[in-house]
Amino acid sequence: APAQSVVKYERRVFDKLGVRTPYHTPYDDATDKLWEDLYDMGIQKITKDQAALLPNWTEPIPGDENHYVVSLNVFHQLHCLNFVRMALYPDRYGPVQQFGPPILEGDTVPFDHTDHCINIIREGITCNADITPDVWQWDEKRHMAFPHFDSVHDCRNWDAIADWARDRKITERWDSHTRVGHEHQHF
């Protein structure tokens, strides 16, 4: 992966159950901006040499064939999580644009954005499979053992990945409807 070179691991304590973060309700414009800022990295460009190392081919940028188009899946996953979040609060966000025309050739089933997003999140969680143990500790108020989610996790440093994406964001307009060449790029 092109961003692999910036991956650094850090220990991070997750929030305790019941702790309210700026990402929690009540939702307002400031909260919405926080969510959008998590994934508003645009589309990135990588060099032809970096593209040649990918297990899947990607398209060159029309007019700049030495650079190729990628986007990091984590930002798609965060977009999807935000989409599902907004779908849960129609009083604030109104009905989300959930259905679209079929995507797969020959398919008659409309594209379901919510279903797609739930599946993308599922794939991301099972791919990354955080194996940090959630410990159980005695809770005097409840008189029972209760899970504590404020465990120490080994996480990728978010800022390094976000900086990598921002530094490679395609800022010039490019036409995604223009194809460079007519075959898959086999380097």
pLDDT tens readout for residues 111-169: 888 999 999 999 999 999 999 999 999 999 999 999 999 999 999 999 999 999 999 99
**Can you read off the two tokens belonging to residue 67?**
């650079």
How far apart, in whole angstroms, are the C-alpha atoms of residue 24 and residue 19?
Answer: 9
Phi, psi of 34 (to 5 degrees): -60, -45
Domain carrying residue 97: 2-167
Q: Does 59 map to a domain?
A: yes
Q: Does 173 map to a domain?
A: no
Locate tokens 């594209």: which residue? 111
Q: Does 100 map to a domain?
A: yes
Q: Does 176 map to a domain?
A: no
Domain count within the chain: 1
pTM, full prediction: 0.88
Q: What is the pLDDT of residue 171?
A: 92
Q: Does 109 map to a domain?
A: yes
